[in-house]
Amino acid sequence: MAGTIKKFMFVNRKAPYGTVYALESLEVVLISAAFDQDVSLAFLDDGVYQLKKGQQTKGIETKNFSPTYRALDGYDIEKLYVEQEAMEARGLTEEDLLVDVTVLSRREMGALMEEQDVVLSF
Amino acid sequence: MATIAVDGKDYETDEEGYLTDLSQWNEEVGKFLAQQENVDLTDQHWEVINFLREYYNEFQIAPAVRVLTKAIGKKLGAEKGNSQYLYELFPYGPAKQACKIAGLPKPTGCV
Amino acid sequence: MLHIINKSPLEKNSLDTCLAVAQDGGIILLIEDAVYAATSGNAAAAKLSAAQGRLKICVLGPDLEARGMADRLLEGVTRIDYGGFVDLAAEHKCQSWL
């Protein structure tokens, strides 16, 4: 597919399972990988909970989609950013997360958002 | 919803023939689904089917073709990690057809 | 009275309002995204701890496990299963802070 490469950012602000936003975002991210664009994922507020290790959903009879974040690397989606303040407010550190991420302050996150061609909000 | 019968047992599938519950899959079901797709299963086919099932177990998704091709190449060698090889095995698409036989859902982003 | 909360304390003010309204001796049950309130390190955990003397705090175990937070439950919070949820709902008047 010819054409210029655009910068896409998916902004994730919701915890998993309580609403369908996290799963919907992940599905669109996987689809977007087919278009060879410059994709970034940003996790702000409760969105950082999406990446928490140790999710076990048998008890709520819902699909555990957290392992899928570890497949993103194979889809060449390697730019994952988490908001530092959100991590702190939830007592989380990078070791608590399923995947390698870059931790950014809110200010840095804002600058990165500004650089994007397209921002998709979840 | 539809069902297929293998060895006297019923298995639920969706309207496109994908198994609804992948935990019900076994090799006999795989063989039956392959027959429906007119695919004669060889060791090379099983290699891909088993790979897909392992991939699904690890990541909880069926991989896109491009991702499958790359991952197969890494695991089974470059001569198998290309779409020509995979399309020879599964003419209607390695992701679509092989996933169906492997009891996986249709890959995300596949129409 | 049984107070049920299902929203994250860092996203909605349900927990704050509930804690302000709930009378002593009441029970707070945290389900779905509200379970995060009862996990150590969460910014809302202190409010919950402060209320522990006058209110009984419960969380729904399956929702805690789904979110990968089972090993972070605050001390003094009671973990219940679906059966326990039904029992609480049957034994008390109920307010859901939707």
Residue-wise pLDDT for B44-91, tens only, equals 999 999 999 999 999 999 998 889 999 999 999 999 999 899 999 999
Q: Which of B27, B54, B66, B110 is catalytic?
A: B110
| Strands (E) located in chain C | 2-5, 27-30, 56-60, 78-80, 94-97
Q: Which residues 29-68 of B have a C-beta within 8 angstroms of A?
A: 58-61, 63-64, 66-67
- What tens digit of pLDDT does each residue of C17-44 get? 999 999 999 999 999 999 999 999 999 9
Residue range C42-54, pLDDT digits in tens = 999 999 999 999 9
Q: What is the CATH number of the domain that holds C93?
A: 3.40.1260.10
Q: What share of chain B has pLDDT > 90, as a percent? A: 74
pLDDT of residue B94: 83
Domain total in chain C:
1
Q: Please indicate whether, in this complex, the C-beta atoms of B59 and A70 are within 8 angstroms of each other.
A: yes
The chain A residue lying nearest B56, using CA atoms, is A68
Range of the domain at C30: 2-97
Q: Catalytic annotation on B99?
A: no
Q: What is the pLDDT of residues B88-110, one digit of tens each?
A: 999 998 878 999 999 998 876 55
CA dist., res. C49 & res. C63, Å (int): 20
In contact, C56 and C3? CB cutoff 8 Å: no
pLDDT at B111: 47
| Digit-coded pLDDT (tens) for A72-118 | 999 999 999 999 999 999 999 999 999 999 999 999 999 999 999 99
Domains and CATH numbers, chain B: 2-101 (1.10.10.370)
Report all structural domains of chain A as residue ranges with CATH numbers, in order of start.
7-121 (3.40.1260.10)
- Which of these, B105, B94, B97, B98, lies nearest to B23 by C-alpha position? B105
